[in-house]
Structure 1
Amino acid sequence: MDGDSPEHPSAMADRDGPVAYTPTAAHEVALECLLAGIEAARPENRIADTCTVSDDALTVADVTGDGGNTASYDLTQYDRITVLGGGNAAAHVVRALEAEFEFGGSDRLGEQLDTGVVVTDDPVETDIAAVYEGSHPIPSERGVRNTTRILDAAEAAGPDELVLVVVTGGASALLTAPATSLSLADLRAVTRALLASGATIDEINAVRKHCSAIKGGQLARAAAPATVVTLALSDVVGDDPSVIASGPTVPDATTYGDALAVLERYGIDAPDAVVARLEGGHAGDRPETPTADADAELFDRTSTHIIGNGRVALEAARDAADEQGYTPLVLSSRVRGEARESARTHVAIAEECRQTGEPCSPPAVLLSGGETTVTLCDDPGRGGPNQEFALASALELESDGIVVGSVDTDGVDGATDVAGALVDATSVETALESEGTPDQSGTGARVDARDALARNDAFAALEDADALVRTGPTGTNVNDLRVIVVESATCTDRAC
């Protein structure tokens, strides 16, 4: 309904302007694998692959495990269907539902799709839902206002209503509703501190849930007694539904005590109101978020399906590598930890592969997913985990014939307008290392790559190297995707 953004842009690498190195076939293979992974995770492909309607029943498959969480819902049992949700790609998922099931047409699901509310930072027009903008990663006043619209719609749902909840990456920040006794300023302060601390997304969400009126099962509570079916595009390592979007429709296994432990573990100086709320909850002065045991009846009417995740992107990238004649190897879909430390490990494996043929023989493509983090310095520059991974990899590489690409599949790495970067040892050596490179202002200042990495300013160094990858918002979000192309050790020509 609402939303005036242009149509979703085609994914393109930022290859315009001065090039700091001569692109090789390996660069093109890396880019093709990255874009194939993003494409496979786009909502229109995920809805088409996981959702079907037959004999008046909606069947939703699950991409995790052996697919045992597939379930069917008898649409004749519901008077209408409402769509609620949030996240970077939430509006794209709603639009994919409309396209797949002919909203307003003869399809049973299309007939019953009635209304909805979605909060996102990548708005696109939909016929079903009113699409409102929120802010990511720091909560905003408009996010609070628009999340309240979702809660109001949930509370209006009746027992004969099916509520489809769409959640994607970014929903934890976009769905913002301060708990009683907390202000937006409190949420903003604790969110900033958490993001700068190096805490994992699980740890961050443990705090968020206990400072919120919608997270940790509280949206399901608001929608009761309606039936709630959640379609999740997972950006969480391990695909735990209680972590995706901070679990608004599933039981919460974390406690006020867990949230306090996160603050203590990372030395986070949270606002007094936040600390008081968490300490009061830990002391039993207020009830916990909904749990599986205490709220069993509530969760009997809810279910969650993972319709897409990082593994989907990895498998598509693997297929793309195979089609190009490279041996693909998925290292892990669960990579975590500091981006620069993870880069060292990945580069070590790639160089081992090139020199000894272990763990696979080149030409090969090594792949990984997951989510790395960055612990910020006191006065950080610009960048994100994928840019830090790429820059650290470039500095670490000692071998030619290796190309490293790392992107955030939503097209936005950190607080920048780029998805990530694509580097090799030669490009870094000519553009970034001892000689440096003049900045584009013409002042003669030089970017020192190691200094840039230390200052969390990977963007500046990679921009000067013409190594950034820009896709624009991709309409999906399944975490990070890393592609490392390893040519044979006998391949020394730069055309390799």
Structure 2
Amino acid sequence: MEEVIEVTKLLLKCGADIKEINAVRKHISKVKGGRLAKEAYPAKIVSLIISDVIGDPIDSIASGPTAPDLTTFHDAYRVLLKYELWNKVPESIRRRIQMGLQGKVPETPKPGDPIFYKVLNLIVASNLKALQAMANKAIQLKLNPIILTSQLEGEARYVGKAFASIVKEAVSSGNPVKPPAAIIAGGETTVKVSGKGIGGRNQEFALGVALTIKNLRGIAVAAMGSDGIDGVTNAAGAIVDGETIKIANKMNIDPYAYLKDNDSYNFFKAVGKSLIITGLTGTNVNDLIVGVILKQ
């Protein structure tokens, strides 16, 4: 188990996406990648699923313990090579994957395997369902909601800047929604860690937003992990507005230096009143983002 946790940490830190991470995890586990269904066969299985994967692919959620696997040992091997992790993962992990490549360890169950005839997979909660609930709440608050996407991906700081540009467009032209408004999105961005700071994808996203909406009034953007955890911090994410960078500048805090060092947590901690701290929520449907625009 410790070796598996170590591999997961390495994959998260290198910027691998969830599909790549799952390709590896499925092939170093006894239950993921459909293996739980295989162990339970011929019993009938009803799997109630909370989705924390973009697009809700059954085979990727929790690494698909009751779903057929489309990936192979070769895919897992290629992911570790791609991110130069092959020589960094524990020797036991390399040995298992090598045995799989040689056919000495059985592949994960694939589509068409009879074991899945006895399986019913049902998604009971997802990012899109959460975004729809957010939109309903926005209506109650007399805001015009728009859900951009539940499949937001990409490098967090740059996606944050792109999201901020949509907020700015709504302010200046009323597109894609007229203020007062709530621009809503969800998904899961990534961070390629090159610095020595601490933070998470939502905090880095928020810092990218803050730099883009500097000095704008009547705007606030929040980005948070629905599980209450962002990266390796105690924060779920961060909330920013047009004053965030202005306050930092007055305190002689350089946001670009913090961003370069992947130190968004300490940036927001220093600025104050920005970190979102909820504690563990006990569930996970990916990240939740909302930009609120007051009537100008």
Same fold (TM > 0.5): yes
2:57 paired with 1:236: no
**Contact 2:195–2:260 (CA<8 Å) still a contact in 1?**
no
Query: For residue 82 of structure 1, what is the aligned residue in structure 2?
Result: none
State which of 429, 446, 453 in structure 1 corresponds to 2:259: 453
How many angstroms apart in 2 are the aligned matches of 1:451 and 1:425? Answer: 19
Query: For residue 343 of structure 1, what is the aligned residue in structure 2?
Result: 160
Query: For residue 34 of structure 2, what is the aligned residue in structure 1?
Result: 217
**Secondary structure at 2:289's aligned position in 1?**
strand
Instruction: Return the letter of the residue paired with 1:287.
Output: P
Give the drift of 1:287. 1.6
Give the drift of 1:255. 0.5
State which of 119, 135, 147 in structure 2 corresponds to 1:302: 119
Query: For residue 172 of structure 2, what is the aligned residue in structure 1?
Result: 355
**Contact 2:219–2:242 (CA<8 Å) still a contact in 1?**
yes
| Structure 2: runs of 5+ lacking an equivalent | none
**Secondary structure at 1:210's aligned position in 2?**
helix
Query: For residue 13 of structure 1, what is the aligned residue in structure 2?
Result: none
Query: For residue 200 of structure 1, what is the aligned residue in structure 2?
Result: 17
Query: For residue 106 of structure 1, what is the aligned residue in structure 2?
Result: none
Structure 2 CA distance for partners of 1:476 and 1:189, relative to 1, 3 Å: closer
Instruction: Return the letter of the residue paired with 1:453.
Output: L
| Structure 1: runs of 5+ lacking an equivalent | 1-143, 145-183, 438-446, 492-496
State which of 194, 197, 200 in structure 2 corresponds to 1:384: 200
Aligned length: 292
**Secondary structure at 1:415's aligned position in 2?**
coil
Query: For residue 471 of structure 1, what is the aligned residue in structure 2?
Result: 278
How many angstroms apart in 2 are the aligned matches of 1:425 and 1:236? Answer: 31
Q: Structure 1 residue runs of 4+, over 6 Å off?
A: none
**Contact 2:149–2:186 (CA<8 Å) still a contact in 1?**
yes
How many angstroms apart in 1 are the aligned matches of 2:209 and 2:195? Answer: 23
Query: For residue 292 of structure 1, what is the aligned residue in structure 2?
Result: 111
Q: What are the within-5 Å matches in structure 2 for residues 59-208 of structure 1?
A: 144=1, 184-185=2-3, 187-208=4-25
**Contact 2:195–2:262 (CA<8 Å) still a contact in 1?**
no
Q: What are the within-5 Å matches in structure 2 for residues 365-404 of structure 1?
A: 365-379=182-196, 381-398=197-214, 399-404=216-221
Deviations along 1:238-294, one digit per CA (max 9) or x if unpaired, are 11111110011111111011111211222224334423432332333322011123x
- The alignment-based identity, stated in percent, is 42
**Contact 2:195–2:263 (CA<8 Å) still a contact in 1?**
no
Give the TM-score normalised by structure 1. 0.57
How many angstroms apart in 2 are the aligned matches of 1:391 and 1:207? Answer: 31
How many angstroms apart in 1 are the aligned matches of 2:134 and 2:195? Answer: 37
Greater C-alpha Rg = 1
State which of 278, 282, 295 in structure 1 corresponds to 2:97: 278
State which of 283, 288, 293 in structure 2 corresponds to 1:481: 288
How many angstroms apart in 2 are the aligned matches of 1:237 and 1:346? Answer: 18
How many angstroms apart in 2 are the aligned matches of 1:470 and 1:193? Answer: 25
Instruction: Return the letter of the residue paired with 1:291.
Output: K
Give the drift of 1:378. 4.8
2:255 paired with 1:436: no
Give the drift of 1:336. 0.8
Give the TM-score normalised by structure 2. 0.93
How many angstroms apart in 1 are the aligned matches of 2:195 and 2:238? Answer: 24
2:130 paired with 1:313: yes
2:224 paired with 1:407: yes
